[in-house]
Amino acid sequence: MDRRHFIKRSTLLSIGGMLIPSTFLSACRKENLFEDINYEGKIIIIGAGAAGLYAAYILKSKGINFQILEASANYGGRLGKLTGFANFPIDLGAQWLHGKNNILGDLIKKSNTKITLDDSGTKYWFNNQLVNSLPQDTNIFEGDDLPDISYKDYALQKGLGDEYKYIVENIAGDQGAAASRLSVFGNNVDEENWNSGDDDFKFQETFFDLIENQIASKVKDKILLNTIVSKIDYSQSEIIITDSHNNIYSAGKVIITVPIPVLKSGDIQFIPALPNEKTTAFSKIGMDGGMKVFLKFSNKFFDQNIIGGPICAAYADESIGKAQNDNVLLAFIMGEQEEYLTALGSDAAITTALLQELDVMYNGQATASFIASHVQNWTTNPFVKGAYSYSTIGMGDARKISSQSINKKLYFAGEAMNTNGHHQTVHGALETGYREVINILNDIKK
């Protein structure tokens, strides 16, 4: 389950006990970053995911009045926790820490959170059998002078035939997309500044616990749940926000952290309408469907990682890094494979399809030892609508344009708005929450 990120030049500085990417410091000099500031207005944060929670955490540290409006019944965004299914807690959303050279690495160290390096072994489903290695090198999607074409087309150009189709789907799915939609060039450009580290880690408890204990617990009293924002009127000096029950909220500045599909869908009406350049940039940032299915078995017949299934291109042993070892296999399903399974219409049908695939791989052992399943479909969640952002063909500088503030009133955060190479990650979302608070503080000073 390696995300194929590589260590780049470290650009992190430690200020006030937190790791802050140096790119943020270009907007605010180090020596005055935490200087006392007097702001009499109120800031509203839309969305209580990682970006919104961290922005709130920083605002609270500055003594600035804020409120978070969250559409769902829970905070955490694309983080979530499942208990009672196994004898260890399970992350329903983000679960791998991708490198430790980031804000989260600092929080983990300070809180003594237990994490484990995930260097688990892999089997490939190739030519209808499980194998330990592949005949051809599939590490072809990084380098210089790569074309702005899909992973699928590039793999075919490089001689990876149809027998590699679902191996390539796994590689693209790890980046959040179907192989037919993810740009080889764009993905490399997006990640040029990645500096978090090249190792993946799993939590003994959950990713959600880290965010809950270190960040959310400090600001959750300021969260209004079940508050669906339907309109943002920023035409006057005071911004007026309306929710789906016609409740009105006012603020001097607004940080918008909703997932990119929500912005693209028009679920939130902006008055005046957002600039065409902004909405066009939104439309160029991809976000495919994402589903996680946890399958519990009486026997551990499966390998640690299985890559290349036609129904699910990525399975992983969920017990790695946990204190207990119930036999739980994660089916990590993205892109077109998620669309196929969602179209089956029920959790039971999804589970059956996965069990049938595993039965072929393991001679009927899946169905014979099956106990229970839990389906977490992030695509059908109306306030998420997918997994995480990716680079489409022809995306250009869409992330940069999307992340720019409007009239010193509207500020945009979230993993899709990360321009520092850390899109798709929780720490990338945190970085954008921090960045937008710094941008607000700078605008207040001017």
pLDDT digits (tens, 9 = 90+) for 185-230: 999 998 888 999 989 999 999 999 999 999 999 999 999 999 999 9
**pLDDT score for 38:** 80
Q: Which residue has the tokens 């005949």?
A: 135
Contact (CB, 8 A) for 123 and 307: yes
Contacts of 235 (CB under 8 A, 6+ apart): 271, 272
Closest of 86, 102, 147 to residue 427, by C-alpha: 102
280-332: per-residue pLDDT in tens?
A: 999 999 999 999 999 999 999 999 999 999 999 999 999 999 999 899 999 99
pLDDT band at 166 (very low <50, low <70, confident <90, very high): very high
**pLDDT for 239 beyond 80:** yes
pTM of the shown model: 0.92
Q: What is the pLDDT of residue 126?
A: 97
Q: Name the band, by pLDDT with cuts 50, 70 and 90, for residue 6.
A: very low
- Using a pLDDT cut of 90, give the percent of the chain over it: 87
Give me the pLDDT at residue 19, please: 42
Taking a C-beta distance cutoff of 8 angstroms, is the pair 402, 275 a contact? Answer: no
State mean pLDDT over 329-358.
Answer: 98
pLDDT of 138: 95
The torsion angles phi and psi of 395, rounded to 5 degrees, stand at -70, -35
Instruction: List the domains of the chain with CATH numbers.
Output: 12-77+206-286+393-445 (3.50.50.60)
List, for residues 389-430, the tens digit of each pLDDT value. 999 999 999 999 999 999 999 999 999 999 999 999 999 999
* Mean pLDDT calculated for residue range 341-365: 98
Q: Three-class SS string for the chain?
A: CCCCCCCCCCCEEEECCEEEEHHHHHHCCHHHCCCCCCCCCEEEEECCCHHHHHHHHHHHHCCCEEEEECCCCCCCCCCCEECCCCCCCEECCCCEEECCCCHHHHHHHHHCCCEEECCCCCEEEECCEEECCCCCCCCCCCCCCCCCCEHHHHHHHCCCCHHHHHHHHHHHHHCCCCCCCEEHHHHHHHCCCCCCCCCEEEECCCHHHHHHHHHHHHHHHHEECCCCEEEEECCCCCEEEEECCCCEEEECEEEECCCHHHHHHCCCEEECCCCHHHHHHHHHEEECCEEEEEEEECCCCCCCEEECCCCCCEEEECCCCCCCCCEEEEEEEEHHHHHHHHHCCCHHHHHHHHHHHHHHHCCCHHHHHEEEEEEEECCCCCCCCCCCEEEECCCCCHHHHHHCCECCCEEECCHHHCCCCCCCCHHHHHHHHHHHHHHHHHHHHC
Mean pLDDT for 137-153 is 94
- With a pLDDT cut of 70, the percent of the chain lying above it is 92
Q: Tell me, what's the pLDDT at 3? A: 40
Q: What is the pLDDT of residues 17-54, one digit of tens each?
A: 334 544 444 444 433 454 667 888 999 999 999 999 99
Can you tell me the mean pLDDT for 247-270? 97
For the record, the structure tokens of 166 come out as 């679902």
**Mean pLDDT, residues 146-164 taken together:** 97
Phi (first) and psi of residue 334, to 5 degrees: -130, 165
232 is written with which tokens?
């943002």
Predicted local distance difference test score (pLDDT) of residue 35: 64
* Whether the predicted pLDDT of 68 surpasses 60: yes
- Asked if the bond preceding 21 is cis, omega within 30° of 0, the reply is no
pLDDT at 445: 81
What is the C-alpha to C-alpha distance for residues 141 and 295, in angstroms, rounded to an integer? Answer: 31
CA 232-392-353 angle, 5° bins: 95
**Residue 36, pLDDT score:** 67
pLDDT for res 16 = 34
pLDDT, tens only, 241-251: 999 999 999 99
